[in-house]
Structure 1
Amino acid sequence: MTGRPAGEDEPGDSDASRDPDALLSRAGVRADTDQDQHFLVDDRVLDRLPGYATAVGADTSHVLEIGAGTGALTDRLLAVAEHVTAVERDPELAAFLREEFADEIAADRLTVIEGDALDVALPDFSLSVSNLPYGASSEIAFRLLPRGRPLVLMFQREFADRMAADPATDEYGRLSVTAGHYADVEVVEPVPKGAFSPPPAVESAVVRTRPRDPDYEVPDEDFFLDFVTALFTQRRKTMRNAVRNTAHISGLEDPDAVVAAADDELMGRRAGKVSPAEFADLAGLAWEVGEPT
């Protein structure tokens, strides 16, 4: 990163007293690690997060933040966004955010939603930049991805690598195919444990997704995603056996018809060697001949 001229604020310096440690001190909370509370306190990482969105021209008119915590990232998002909606499930932290950012709320630049991001009604946001609670990160990500908006999200490193993995790599799996169905996915920054208070047990990483239509067609999106999920439960089996063994998951009444109609070479491979487009073609065939329920 380049230096900045003396006296020039860095992104996020809209209020110099809102550094992460000061916010934690004022909030007076102790992180509940059983509830996945690990506060991001590294200023350098916090400063970079909005930039991963603005660097690719993402619309910052309405930024959604999930897991706002004490507001360290919220403050930086307010520096680049017209409006921020911050979702926080901890009642004590939500109350702190409403007090700490009372001026921004009064100016209609910030909305604080108290509740679980899996349950609350989400606004029609233009972008999400979030340090997600790891225990619910998969469910939250797949609530956001179908909305077709750019995302900059913090995940466990292993999860991030699986989201962005290419076919025939060790990390490639169901997560890679399903995330890639909605967007281009890239890991833009690894984040060490020490960037958080308290440090989590695992390394983390920032993922950026840019929405786009897949380069294949599927007969039914829900069926395609269920079909892919089913086949990856048998990733050590050939596709032939995986199709037959997972009919109870995919909902196929006649999996044998799918195997008989499919390409023999494809049926002899394992799921980790099958591209998303090949999964889509097979799902189309299964939709036609497998009598899905």
Structure 2
Amino acid sequence: MTDDETPAGTTVGTRDPDALLSRAGASGDPGRDQHFLVDDRVLDRIPTYATEAGVDLSHVLEIGAGNGALTDRLLAVADRVTAVERDPDLAAFLREEFADAIADGHLTVLEGDALEVDLPAYTASISNLPYGASSEILFRLLPAGKPLIAMVQREFADRMAAEPGGDDYGRLSVTAGHYADVELVEPVPPEAFSPPPAVDSAVVRALPREPDYTVADEAFFLGFVKAVFTQRRKTVRNGIRNTPHISGLDDPDAVVEAADENLLAKRAGDLSPTEFAELARLASEVGFSDD
């Protein structure tokens, strides 16, 4: 048997990623955001970031399954896997390559765009995400309140996990942190992929938890954070006044008049999520007309 042949009775978790690419007839296409993870060591470690945290792996959702290299590792640790793949040729390959796992109910291949298909109930998501859609996909998954492990661009990972006061801290940090504790667990170099991307990558782990603050209206809170961060070089006072077209406030001046001067004098990048929540609660109380 050659490496290009489908190995009969292959044990899950042992498929060679380069051989999978060969069998799939896929070479990757940066223009279509296709960068296949081919480093065995990284592939083998990704599921451990779930198991070491005690994550429930009874049904794992994988977005962007590609040639199935990570799917193979997930099948070795999960009771069930649902693999979402938008490329019809790769989805067909996955159905052929993992026919036994599909037949025994261990794997479901869901063909389509992860932003459009109906996702099943799942206990955790573990994925090598398409970088161009990482933000949209993550913010479809994070509100579900399930553990998430994802390969993303390093810059994106740094911003997700950033703390107040740092250069990387921003809207993404506050929004991701609203849903989960986010940790960058492994940096990954370009040569771990085929073809290598032009950027460094990283694996992030997001474990859901309730925030240590309360908000009356989550959508307004997140929109308020977005609005103030569009003015991150200005004081929060000016950020609130200049962005009612984003926040939706009827009377931003009333918010400024009622807010704590110490908070208003800061810049967005220095506000903690709790302080954002405090301002958002105040804004929702005094920043809208009674009409």
Contact kept? 2:29, 2:195, Cα under 8 Å = no
How big is the shift at 1:14? 2.3
| CA-to-aligned-CA distance 1:50-70 (integer Å, 9 cap, x gap) | 000000100000000000000
1:51 aligns with 2:48: yes
Work out which of the residue numbers 175, 178, 182 in structure 1 matches 2:175.
178
2:111 matches 1:114: yes
* Equivalent residue, structure 2, for 1:66: 63
- Name the residue aligned to 1:269: 266
Deviations along 1:154-201, whole A, 9 cap, x unmatched?
010000000000000111000000000000000000000000000000
How far apart are residue 30 of structure 1 and its match?
A: 2.5
Describe the SS at the equivalent of 1:69: coil
* Equivalent residue number for residue 129 of structure 1: 126
Measured in 1, the distance between the counterparts of 2:128 and 2:37 equals: 8
**Contact preservation (8 Å) 2:162, 2:173:** yes
1:108-134 deviation per Cα after TM superposition (whole angstroms, max 9, x unaligned): 000000000000011111011100000
1:87 and 1:58 map into 2 onto residues whose CA distance is 20
- The aligned counterpart of 2:92 is 95
Secondary structure at the aligned position of 1:213 is classed as coil
TM score, norm. by length of structure 2: 0.95
1:105 paired residue among 99, 102, 105:
102
**Structure 2 spans left out of the alignment, 5+ residues:** 1-9
SS at match of 1:141: helix
Please report the RMSD computed on the Cα atoms of aligned residues, expressed in angstroms.
Answer: 1.2
Among candidates 144, 164, 169, match of residue 141 of structure 2: 144
2-side partners of 1:230 and 1:242: how far apart?
Answer: 7
Letter in 2 for 1:172: Y
Instruction: Map 1:271-286 to 2 at 5 A.
Output: 271-286=268-283
- Provide the rounded CA distance (Å) in 2 between the counterparts of 1:128 and 1:219: 28
2:198 alignment partner AA: A
**CA deviation after TM superposition for structure 1 residue 280, in Å:** 0.1
Partner of 2:7: none
CA distance in 1, matches of 2:215, 2:279: 9
Q: Report how far residue 265 of structure 1 moved.
A: 1.4
Q: Aligned match of 2:208 in 197, 208, 211?
A: 211
Contact preservation (8 Å) 1:219, 1:283? no
TM-score (normalizing by structure 1) = 0.94
Aligned-partner Cα distance in 1 for 2:45–2:152: 16
CA shift, 1:32, in A, is: 1.7
Q: How far apart, CA to CA, are the structure 2 residues paired with 1:204 and 1:136?
A: 14
What letter corresponds to residue 49 of structure 2 in structure 1?
Y
Q: How many residues align?
A: 281
Aligned partner of 2:240 among 234, 238, 243: 243
